[in-house]
Amino acid sequence: MAPLPCTLVMGGLVVVAFAASDPVVLTAVLAAALLLLWRTAGSRRLYLIIGLVTGAAVALVNPFVASQGDLILIDGPTTAVIDLQVTLEELLYGAAAGTRLAAVTLLTGAWLGLVDRDRLAARASRATPRSTLTVTLAARLLPALRRDATALVEATRLRGSRVTGARLQTARTWGALVEPLCAAALDRGAEHAEAMAARGYGPTRPTAWCERPLDRREWVAVGLGLVICAVAVWVLLGGAAFGWYPTADMPSAAAVAAAALIVGLGSAAALTLGSRS
Amino acid sequence: MIARVRDLTYRYPAAAADAAAGLSLDVARGEIVLVHGPSGGGKTTLLRALAGLVPHFHGGRFGGSVVVDGLDTRHHDVAVIARRAGIAFQDAESQVLYRSVLRDVSFGLANHGVSRQELEPRARAALAAVAAGALAGRTTDTLSGGELQRVALAGVLAPGPSLLLLDEPSAQLDDAGASLLAAVLRRLADAGTAIVVAEHRTDRYAGVADRVVGIGDATEAPEWPMRPAGTIGPTRLELHGLAGGRGGRAVFAGVDLTVGAGEIVAIRGSNGAGKSTLLRLIAGLDAPAAGVILLEGRDVTGAAAEDRYPGIALVPQDPGRYLLCARVVDEVRSGGPAAEDALTALDLDRLRERHPRDLSAGERERVAIATALAADPAVLLLDEPTRGMDPRRRAALAALLGDRAAAGRSIVVATHDRQLIAMCRARSVALGAAA
């Protein structure tokens, strides 16, 4: 998929995730992110694990670092390093922050999975020629590293080590792969950079490839992305404001409507963007 | 002269020894120069120096002079030299930068300022020149090793360099592909392009190369030691109706094969026929779409690779990607208890403290074979094991495989290397339309 529609859709949703504080809107963004990630062709599990684990961690930690809210659930002591008094508002705010982090992680994964990296690198070379090396390396390195990681796991299996099953053994096996994977990443990066240099990449601006125009589906996705961006602007202007402390507000009717719109737009975008690889 | 190398001496940063010492070479327009020498003997370094990558990209200590088309490489940027000299690396995977084949082939053209209207036609023409026109609509992640090598070569040919530098360009090509490559090179040379090919398989350029130059401790190919025909024991490995694919595409179906104890079987086939896929299925890395695999009468079709170890060991096609340790000795030890014997058998004792990633392709291949041998597997699977190996090493490998077979081990080797097949007296099995 062309970079423009992907960026409009995913970028708009990321802005909403960062700007909104209303839990209904944040939940809607998470739902849209899950739908978009589900439609990607590549590996989804990694982003799901990272997004859900980091989101859950933020949700769990917040009550012990914040000290606000009226409705006390656990009345523990407050020390210099940790606050053991837990309020309902702290729990809810933590859940909202975790939802935000998870949504942004999933949207990043969806963008990486859906965007045509060739066209992205070509766009970058036109827009910011000095960044072409970085963008091309990143675009090429990600799939190459995925294959290298797969090869390293296979190498481990071919030597009789298990990568699934008993947790301790599995953890040891995966831990031992960190160093070779870093070495492989450095090797690959250097090799790709050398190949670019040898193929004439340098100070002059390269000729742009004749890109095919956006097709009908991509134009539909651009339209959906623009509406999502409009929602993002509305949120930035305070449309989905929400007060957590000292007591949590009730979601406004406008926020509920915005959330419904985001889920609808996200679903439509997932169907449109994901129909092409 | 299009290229003149005088007393080239070069040492990579932090390296203990020179990668090239006192090399001199003249290359005339329209000439094909074949460079051979031992693994790690400086062939790749010579090509990098002609492309300006040494010293500009790699740094290190550079002595002597290299002049390409009137440009002293010490005083000109790689991008400037790239307009005159195109280099195809040993590992095509690293050279390919885009997912779309057409875009990738046009990368060099775009950097050289070719007009956008010309990009696609010239990229298609370059692909057609290496008989890869059918790959134009494919993505690079779906290509086999040989197909990827053709795409990489097309990318170098597309801008029409006056000096073409090729590092083991036929390493992954089948015989038909190698013959075609030789013909393409002759045609380019006749049109005025100077070509330097670093290659161990000099036989593939017989009648095409104008000159053969040996560097390092270059030795002539030894007399091929033919393994005496051995006795084949009871059946050890059986494949019945095996079907497999790659990237969701079916590659082969209905493959039947039996391998006896003490037998060497060579799997031959054109690029993309599924030789590597077949070995992966036998090793347990992938599951077959259909069929049964029996190891010493036991059905292991559903067993994972780790459960087939140490009965079956695989040396994959690109062993550089399968390196796990920071020292050669540790890498081989991770394979199994017979590491010391394997190190000696593969002549790796002097490299045991080196980092495997610092080795040449041929040396890495030997490390990978030693790692597999350390497990003393009943069935050893080798995927293109002579890639990057000089003739002496190939003969030594053939002898080693013969010894393994004489000790009752079974060996399945996927290869385009007819000399290896002959030296091992391997039973040749064709997969698909064998080349």
**Closest chain A residue to the Cα of B48, Cα to Cα:** A198
Mean pLDDT along residues B132-146: 86
Average pLDDT, chain A: 85
CB contact under 8 A, B155 and A144: no
Secondary structure element (H or E) that encloses residue A159, with its range? none
How confident is the model over B299-328, as pLDDT tens digits?
999 999 999 999 999 999 888 888 899 999
Are B187 and B247 found together in one domain?
Answer: no
Are B390 and B247 found together in one domain?
Answer: yes
Show the 3-state SS of B20-85: EEEEEEEECCCCEEEEECCCCCCHHHHHHHHHCHHHHCCCCEEEEEEEECCEEHHHCCHHHHCCCE
**Spatial distance between the Cα atoms of B2 and B431, rounded to a whole number of angstroms:** 43
List for chain B the helix, strand, coil content (%; round to 5): 35, 25, 40
Bridge-partner residues for B63, per DSSP?
B9
Task: State the pLDDT at residue B218.
Answer: 56
How confident is the model over B285-301, as pLDDT tens digits?
999 999 999 999 999 99
How confident is the model over B192-245, as pLDDT tens digits?
999 999 988 888 888 888 999 988 765 555 555 566 666 788 999 999 999 998
Count CA atoms closer than 13 A to A233's CA, side-chain side: 7
Q: Is residue B46 domain-resident?
A: yes
Q: How many domains does chain B have?
A: 2
- In percent, the amount of chain B with pLDDT more than 90 equals 60
Helices (H), chain A: 3-19, 23-38, 45-65, 88-114, 117-127, 132-158, 167-176, 178-198, 216-236, 253-273
Task: State the pLDDT at residue B171.
Answer: 78
Nearest to B372 by CA among B305, B431, B310: B310
How confident is the model over B86-135, as pLDDT tens digits?
999 988 888 888 889 999 999 999 988 899 899 999 999 999 988 889 99
Provide the shortest C-alpha distance from residue A190 to chain B (in Å).
Answer: 9
Are B244 and B106 found together in one domain?
Answer: no
Are A26 and A137 found together in one domain?
Answer: no
Are A7 and A114 found together in one domain?
Answer: yes
**Which of A198, A227, A243 delimits the end of a domain?**
A198
**Spatial distance between the Cα atoms of A272 and A277, rounded to a whole number of angstroms:** 11
Q: State whether residue A157 sits within 8 Å of chain B by CB.
A: yes
Q: Is residue B417 domain-resident?
A: yes
Give the burial string for B393-425 (b: 16+ CB within 10 Å, else e): bbbbbbebbbebbeebbbbbbbbbbebbbebbb
Provide the shortest C-alpha distance from residue B287 to chain A (in Å).
Answer: 14
Cβ atoms of B111 and B77 within 8 Å: the answer is: no
**Spatial distance between the Cα atoms of A74 and A4, rounded to a whole number of angstroms:** 49
Q: Is residue B262 domain-resident?
A: yes
Are B242 and B113 found together in one domain?
Answer: no
Mean pLDDT along residues A113-129: 79
Are A46 and A90 found together in one domain?
Answer: yes
Task: List the CATH number of the domain containing B422.
Answer: 3.40.50.300
Nearest to A152 by CA among A179, A191, A188: A179
Q: Which site among A154, A187, A199, A276 would you substitute to test the B interface, given the most B Cβ atoms closer than 10 Å to its Cβ? A: A199
Nearest to B38 by CA among B197, B200, B225, B205: B200
Q: Is residue B124 domain-resident?
A: yes
Q: Is residue A79 domain-resident?
A: yes
Are A172 and A234 found together in one domain?
Answer: no
**Spatial distance between the Cα atoms of B155 and B129, rounded to a whole number of angstroms:** 11
Q: Is residue B376 domain-resident?
A: yes
Task: State the pLDDT at residue A15.
Answer: 96
Task: State the pLDDT at residue B271.
Answer: 78
Q: Is residue A209 domain-resident?
A: no
Between A240 and B11, whose confidence is greater? Answer: B11
Task: State the pLDDT at residue B434.
Answer: 46
CB contact under 8 A, B156 and A206: no
Task: State the pLDDT at residue A277.
Answer: 40
Are A114 and A20 found together in one domain?
Answer: yes
Are A56 and A158 found together in one domain?
Answer: no
Task: State the pLDDT at residue B231.
Answer: 78
Q: Which site among B12, B45, B107 would you substitute to test the A interface, given the most A Cβ atoms closer than 10 Å to its Cβ? A: B107
Q: Is residue B220 domain-resident?
A: no
Question: How many other CB atoms are found less than 10 A from the CB of residue B161?
Answer: 27
The shortest CB-CB distance from B324 to any of A116, A180, A204 is to A180
Are B194 and B55 found together in one domain?
Answer: yes
Are B104 and B144 found together in one domain?
Answer: yes
Are A86 and A187 found together in one domain?
Answer: no
Task: State the pLDDT at residue A276.
Answer: 44
CB contact under 8 A, B117 and A210: yes
**Which of A170, A198, A226 delimits the end of a domain?**
A198
Are B304 and B356 found together in one domain?
Answer: yes
**Which of B163, B185, B214 delimits the end of a domain?**
B214
How confident is the model over B235-284, as pLDDT tens digits?
999 999 999 987 677 889 999 999 999 999 999 988 778 899 999 999 99
Q: Tell me which chain A residues have a C-beta less than 8 angstroms from the C-beta of B321.
A: 147-148, 151-152, 184
Q: Is residue A162 domain-resident?
A: yes
**Spatial distance between the Cα atoms of B286 and B243, rounded to a whole number of angstroms:** 11
Q: Tell me which chain B residues have a C-beta less than 8 angstroms from the C-beta of A113.
A: none
Are A223 and A106 found together in one domain?
Answer: yes
Domain around A240: 3-118+216-273
Q: Is residue B228 domain-resident?
A: no
The band of B47, judged by pLDDT with boundaries at 50, 70 and 90, is very high
**Spatial distance between the Cα atoms of A221 and B115, rounded to a whole number of angstroms:** 31
Q: Is residue A66 domain-resident?
A: yes
Mean pLDDT along residues B144-164: 89
Quote the tokens at residue A89.
């508002």
Task: State the pLDDT at residue B226.
Answer: 62
Cβ atoms of B2 and B27 within 8 Å: the answer is: yes
Q: Is residue B224 domain-resident?
A: no
Cβ atoms of B362 and B370 within 8 Å: the answer is: no
Are B204 and B257 found together in one domain?
Answer: no
Are B337 and B296 found together in one domain?
Answer: yes
Angle, nearest 10°, between helix axes A3-19 and A117-127?
A: 80
Cα separations in angstroms, B237 against B36, B289, B292, B303, B412: 38, 19, 11, 14, 10
Q: Is residue A208 domain-resident?
A: no
Domain around B36: 3-214
Quote the tokens at residue A126.
């036109």
Task: State the pLDDT at residue B301.
Answer: 94
Mean pLDDT along residues B61-87: 93
Are A14 and A107 found together in one domain?
Answer: yes
Are A114 and A241 found together in one domain?
Answer: yes
Please give the torsion angle defined by the CA atoms of residues B383, B384, B389 and B395, in that order, rounded to the nearest 10 degrees.
90
Nearest to A124 by CA among A142, A137, A110: A137
Are A91 and A166 found together in one domain?
Answer: no
Q: Is residue A206 domain-resident?
A: no
Secondary structure element (H or E) that encloses residue B244, with its range? strand B235-246
**Closest chain A residue to the Cα of B79, Cα to Cα:** A200
Are B208 and B254 found together in one domain?
Answer: no
pTM value is: 0.78
Asked if pLDDT for residue A240 goes beyond 90, the answer is: no
Are A103 and A186 found together in one domain?
Answer: no
Query: Cα B375 to chain center, whole Å?
Result: 24
Are B38 and B139 found together in one domain?
Answer: yes
The shortest CB-CB distance from B94 to any of A195, A201, A207 is to A195
The band of B433, judged by pLDDT with boundaries at 50, 70 and 90, is low
**Spatial distance between the Cα atoms of A25 and A12, rounded to a whole number of angstroms:** 13
Q: How many domains does chain A have?
A: 2
Task: State the pLDDT at residue B435.
Answer: 42
Task: State the pLDDT at residue B147.
Answer: 84
Quote the tokens at residue A183.
């070495």
Average pLDDT, chain B: 89
Provide the shortest C-alpha distance from residue A217 to chain B (in Å).
Answer: 21
Q: Is residue A264 domain-resident?
A: yes
Q: State whether residue A180 sits within 8 Å of chain B by CB.
A: yes
Task: State the pLDDT at residue B320.
Answer: 82
Query: Cα B409 to chain center, whole Å?
Result: 25
CB contact under 8 A, A157 and B285: yes
Q: Is residue A205 domain-resident?
A: no
